[in-house]
């Protein structure tokens, strides 16, 4: 089998390729990545010499290139996206180009080349936000209500994917996942930003009151979910993927990181809140559990510590990225 992975030099995409090559060593992987701020060849270093792996540097907004790359592909795992909310507030146009137009180019090429399965990786942020005091969770029937340029562009791409199933019969699936964490996560993002700040003796900047709740999903659990959906998911279906039975707010996870690294609350710095900051995300993963037998296997207490250990041991990967990662916040 030959699989096209878009955005495979990014955080989740590179972890997915690593997982797939290990679980399906006879399959071929083609990684199409533009290598923007979120894509790093260093994230693919351990499998770059695999004879069944090919890297192509390219932009999914280029329809000619996308069609050429799609030739001979059996399945697509589409990760490539502009995904950082803070950047979307500053540069919304780039998010619409990549996330909407780029996805449309991929869909057109998949249709033309008769791809057997097109899987689109999306986010729970398309559903908007939940009140802090509710037990409600997002599910596959939750109405879309995006609150940022990032989530609005992902909502647009989700709708396009479904439209190509209904209009053209393209065999598509979608997963809407919660916030991922784990190795090779860009130091712009909350967990690695806080971890690498503390490892270099700096404070951690907490937005507003810090009582923002996220449903943290370990990246390997997410990769397992996508694998199952690609192989066994029903065409045309959407599956929500969450990571926790217990939810934590940002202050709580910050304290977990501080404690594990032997720091106290004096390392917390409260900063001005992000514009349009969603209060709470929570995901009901009942459907993917009942239909495909998936459930998260990595709890936050243990695997956040293992993630911290990974960053402690892999400064070679994140130290060259740290200065650029911090520059985005200075522009806010």
Q: Catalytic: which of 33, 53, 82, 150?
A: 150
Cα–Cα dist 250/278, whole Å: 12
Residue 168: strand, helix, or coil:
helix
% of the chain surpassing 70 pLDDT: 96
Annotated catalytic, 125? yes
Residue 117: strand, helix, or coil:
strand
Q: Which of 52-61, 99-108, 203-212 has the lowest mean pLDDT?
A: 203-212
Annotated catalytic, 221? no
Annotated catalytic, 124? yes
pLDDT value of position 87: 74
Q: Catalytic: which of 124, 186, 188, 227?
A: 124
Question: Which domains are delineated in the chain?
Answer: 2-180+217-241 (3.40.50.720), 182-213+245-277+299-327 (3.90.25.10)
The predicted model gives 9-28 an average pLDDT of 98
Question: Which candidate, 128, 112, 107, 105, places its Cα nearest to that of 58?
Answer: 105
- Outline where the chain has alpha helix (H): 11-23, 63-70, 85-90, 92-96, 103-112, 149-168, 190-199, 219-232, 250-260, 286-292, 300-313, 315-330
Task: Write the pLDDT tens digit of every residue in 215-241.
Answer: 999 999 999 999 999 999 999 999 999
Question: Which candidate, 217, 242, 212, 234, places its Cα nearest to that of 304?
Answer: 217
Q: Catalytic: which of 125, 158, 186, 227?
A: 125
CA–CA–CA angle 136, 244, 248 (5° rounding) = 80
Q: Which of 95-99, 246-250, 307-311 has the lowest mean pLDDT?
A: 246-250
**Please, what is the angle between helix 103-112 and helix 63-70, to 10°?**
40
Per DSSP bridges, beta strands 213-214 and 217-218 are unpaired
Using 50, 70 and 90 to split pLDDT, how confident is the model at 330?
low
Cα–Cα dist 175/190, whole Å: 22
pLDDT value of position 332: 46
Residue 244 has pLDDT above 80, yes or no: no
Identify the burial level of 41 via C-beta atoms within 10 angstroms of its C-beta, where 0-12 means exposed, 13-18 middle and 19 or more buried.
middle
Residue 304 has pLDDT above 60, yes or no: yes
Q: Which of 162-176, 248-262, 275-289 has the lowest mean pLDDT?
A: 275-289
Task: Write the pLDDT tens digit of every residue in 161-192.
Answer: 999 999 999 999 999 999 999 999 999 899 99
Cα–Cα dist 237/175, whole Å: 9
Average pLDDT over the chain, rounded to an integer: 94
Residue 58: strand, helix, or coil:
coil
């Amino acid at each position: 089998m030959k699989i096209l992975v878009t955005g495979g030099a990014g955080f989740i995409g590179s972890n997915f390729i690593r997982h797939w090559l290990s679980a399906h060593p006879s399959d071929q992987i083609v990684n199409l990545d533009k290598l923007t701020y979120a894509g790093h060849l260093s994230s693919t270093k351990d499998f770059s010499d695999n004879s069944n792996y090919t890297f192509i540097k390219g932009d999914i907004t280029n329809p000619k290139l996308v069609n050429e790359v799609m030739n001979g592909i059996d399945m697509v795992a589409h990760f490539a996206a502009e995904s950082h909310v803070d950047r979307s507030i500053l540069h919304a146009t780039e998010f619409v180009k990549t996330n909407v137009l780029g996805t449309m180019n991929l869909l057109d090429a998949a249709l033309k080349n008769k791809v057997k399965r097109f899987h689109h990786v999306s986010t729970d942020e398309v559903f908007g936000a939940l009140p802090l005091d509710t037990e409600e969770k997002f599910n596959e029937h939750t109405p879309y209500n995006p609150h940022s340029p990032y989530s609005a562009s992902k909502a647009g791409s989700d709708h396009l994917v479904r439209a190509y199933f209904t209009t053209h019969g393209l065999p598509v699936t979608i997963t809407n996942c919660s916030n991922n964490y784990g190795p090779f996560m860009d130091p712009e993002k909350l967990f690695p930003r806080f971890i690498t700040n503390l490892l270099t003796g700096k404070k951690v900047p907490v937005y507003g009151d810090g009582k923002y709740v996220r449903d943290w999903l370990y990246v390997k659990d997410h990769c397992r979910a996508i694998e199952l959906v690609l192989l066994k998911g029903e065409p045309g279906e959407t599956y929500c993927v969450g990571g926790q039975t217990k939810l934590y707010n940002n202050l709580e996870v910050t304290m977990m990181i501080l404690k594990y690294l032997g720091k106290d609350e004096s390392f917390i710095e409260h900063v001005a809140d992000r514009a349009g900051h969603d209060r709470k995300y929570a995901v009901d993963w009942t459907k993917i559990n009942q239909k495909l037998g998936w459930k998260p296997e990595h709890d936050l207490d243990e695997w956040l510590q293992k993630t911290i250990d990974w960053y402690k041991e892999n400064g070679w990967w994140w130290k060259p990225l740290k200065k650029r990662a911090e520059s985005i916040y200075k522009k806010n």
